[in-house]
Amino acid sequence: MARERRIAELERRYPLFLLVTLLPILILPSVDFGGSLLNRITLPLVVDLLIVQSLRTLPYWEREGQRLKRDRVYQLLGILSAVLIWAPSIIGSHALLPHSRGAVLMILSAFYVFTAVRIINVLAHAREVNAFTLCLGAAGYVHLGLTGGQLATTIQLLHPGSFNIGHVARGEELIERLTYFSFVTIGSLGYGDVLPSNASGERFVVLLSLSSTLYVTLLIGLLLSRYINTQSQKLVEEVEQELESERERRG
């Protein structure tokens, strides 16, 4: 009963979690690490908010010892990401070495991957399919796109020329352009304005496309099986109630 109450309490946080997950996409067009103070600090603030909300919302349902180990790794990644994401804003993205920026993005990407795994784990233990669980599933898909954008930016920094990023607007950051490319890829839109231009970029696109397909397949399977189980339980309960009512009338 205590666990069920805990799950119900967490479920009420899922809509806010989805909203916070969407915020980085919404504010990316205004990000400019070489611009005004507001433009420099907006993305770190939003990412920190997302990290805090992820740590608050996503438990890991597993045996106690394993859960504690995973929680510590997840919390450590979250803390590192929350601190390091401020480096481009404070120092300036162009002042940082490409390898330093790549390391920051890799740590944040690892946190996003852990978050996506925890979302799947939480959905696997959901009591039923409802609006809250659908919000969480949608947040997982958005996390996949954000992770792809981080990794694509890392590849471009470490191996310049991996992507032909096309026309870049004045003040537009590389991470904004490649996050757009990530969502275009997982959505199977393929506009062609941003393209992989060497083997590293092509392998990344293949892996990202496979990951998005597998995630959606797994998500649908989990939600569908949970929905069927929920409906079956409700049907059994209704039949039992009818039988009980029939016995009472006969008695």
How far apart CA 174 and CA 197 sit, in angstroms, is 16
- The DSSP string of 116-144 is HHHHHHHHHT-SS--HHHHHHHHHHHHHH
pLDDT for residue 65 is more than 70: no
How far apart CA 67 and CA 65 sit, in angstroms, is 5
Q: When comparing pLDDT for 238 and 187, which is higher?
A: 187
Predicted confidence band of residue 232 (pLDDT cuts 50, 70, 90): confident
Per-residue pLDDT reduced to its tens digit, 124-142 = 877 777 888 888 989 989 9
pLDDT for residue 173 is more than 90: no
Burial class (CB in 10 A: 0-12, 13-18, 19+), 8: exposed
Q: Is the pTM above the cut of 0.95? A: no
How far from chain centre, in Å, is Cα 141? Answer: 6
